[in-house]
Amino acid sequence: MSLSAEKLDEINLLLQFPSDTIMAGLKIHSDAESNVQQAAKRLYEKGFTDSPDGGYLTDAGIEILNHIKLLNSALK
């Protein structure tokens, strides 16, 4: 099993969210690269964020980000 470019874009975008507080989010601007805009939309559709242009992580988004960080740490 390998990760598609789309999944990697989603993971990389999730890693951009501030991890020290849930009171901060991201805003993906209309001039961002299209793969970033599409990743943000997919994360919203999956219920990981509260807005298709970034926004804040949902509870599910926080949980998946914690898993991603754990995996990233283990692979270093």
Domain range enclosing 21: 5-75
> How many structural domains are present in the chain?
1
Q: What is the distance between the alpha carbons of residues 46 and 23, in angstroms, rounded to a whole number?
A: 20
The pLDDT score that the predictor gives to residue 23 is 75
What tens digit of pLDDT does each residue of 36-48 get?
A: 999 999 999 999 9
The band of 24, judged by pLDDT with boundaries at 50, 70 and 90, is confident
Q: What is the distance between the alpha carbons of residues 14 and 9, in angstroms, rounded to a whole number?
A: 9
Q: 58 and 48 in contact (C-beta within 8 Å)? A: yes
Two tokens, residue 45: 């559709």
State the pTM of this model.
Answer: 0.88
**pLDDT tops 80 at residue 20:** no
